[in-house]
Amino acid sequence: KPVSAVKPTAAPPLAEPGAGKGLRSEHQEKMNRMRQRIAQRLKEAQNTCATLTTFNEIDMSNIQEMRARHKDAFLKKHNLKLGFISAFVKASAFALQEQPVVNAVIDDTTKEVVYRDYIDISVAVATPQGLVVPVIRNVEAMNYADIEQTIRELGEKARKSELAIEDMDGGTFTISNGGSAILGVHAIFDRPVAVGGKVEVRPMMYVALTYDHRLIDGREAMTFLRKIKAAVEDPRVLLLDL
DSSP for 134-159, written as a single string: -EE--GGG--HHHHHHHHHHHHHHHH
Q: Please report, rounded to a whole number, the percentage of residues in the chain having pLDDT higher than 90.
A: 52
pLDDT band, residue 15 (cuts 50/70/90): low
For residue 28, which amino acid is it? Q
Active site residue 213: yes
The percent of residues in the chain predicted with pLDDT above 70, rounded, is: 88
- The residue extents of the domains of the chain are 53-240
pTM: predicted TM-score of the whole model, two decimal places: 0.78
**CATH architecture of the region 53-240:** 2-Layer Sandwich (3.30)
Q: Which 3 state secondary structure label does DSSP give 59?
A: strand
Residue scoring higher pLDDT (69 or 180): 69
Tell me: pLDDT of 210 over 80.
yes
Strand-pair partners of 47:
none
Model confidence at 7, in pLDDT bands (50, 70, 90)? low
Mean pLDDT (the chain) is 85
In the residue annotation, 234 being an active-site residue is answered as no
Compute the average pLDDT of residues 151-169.
Answer: 87
Question: Which residues have C-beta within 8 Å of that of residue 70, sequence separation ≥ 6?
Answer: 82
Catalytic residue selected from 78, 169, 186, 213: 213
Please identify which of the residues 169, 217, 234, 241 carries the catalytic annotation. 217
The span from the CA of 92 to the CA of 135, in Å, is 14
Backbone CA torsion sign across 150, 151, 156, 159: positive
